[in-house]
Amino acid sequence: MAPVVPPAPKQRELCYEAFAVLHSGETRTPVFVAEKLNRQSILDADEKRSDKFFADARLPQGERAELSDYKGSGYTKGHMAPAANMPTPTAMDQSFSLANMVPQVARHNSGPWAKIENDTRKYASRAKGDVFVITGPVFDQSSVTIGANQVRVPSHLFKLVYDEQTGRAWAHWQANADSTKVGPPISYRELVQRTGLNLLPGMSQND
């Protein structure tokens, strides 16, 4: 079943070869990005990184981030569906859509967040079946914006991992900050409480 999120204006669904985005035209970022990983997809994910970021023309101009918003902002373009997960050259190119990005603190992006992404790949490569990964930003009242299009900077990021074979789910919850370190994951129930997003309908929130 598809994730259940509170209705909001300017939300649009975008499908790519290896991931799907629910995009917010208000924050100019994803609400969440969903991927399906498994042993084969990880084995195939050896594409050369393209690094060609682009604004997604499928989004109205007033609802999307532009490259100019990030330039000189002090934030990196943080992938929600990581480039290193992409199993084909087309998927690799598509992962650099700004619709798959949030403004992320550089030290967080290249440090603890990169470790979480790598650990998730390692888990998927060992799993007996499909592993669904849903990643997204969280904003608080004091969230700042960057650029002329006012792309919102998340206070936190989450990465929810669901192993279809075992029925287990857990989430990584990270402050978008220089001082962030990798900590223990939180439960799915805790993630729902913190975000208000029911990303796995039918999944018990007691786990």
CA distances from 47 to 5, 39, 72, 82 (A): 33, 16, 29, 12
156 flagged as catalytic? no
Q: Find the catalytic residue in 23, 79, 108, 172.
A: 79
Tell me the CB-side half-sphere exposure of residue 159, using CA atoms within 13 A: 26
Structure tokens at 70: 């990030």
The helix or strand, by DSSP H or E, that contains position 109, with its residue range, turns out to be helix 106-110
Amino acid symbol at 172: H
Structure tokens at 107: 């030290």
Contacts 24+ apart (CB under 8 A), 172-180: 172/116, 174/108, 174/112, 174/113, 174/116, 175/108, 176/102, 176/104, 176/105, 176/108, 176/137, 177/105, 177/108, 178/105, 178/107, 178/108, 180/105, 180/108, 180/111, 180/112
Known catalytic residues are 79
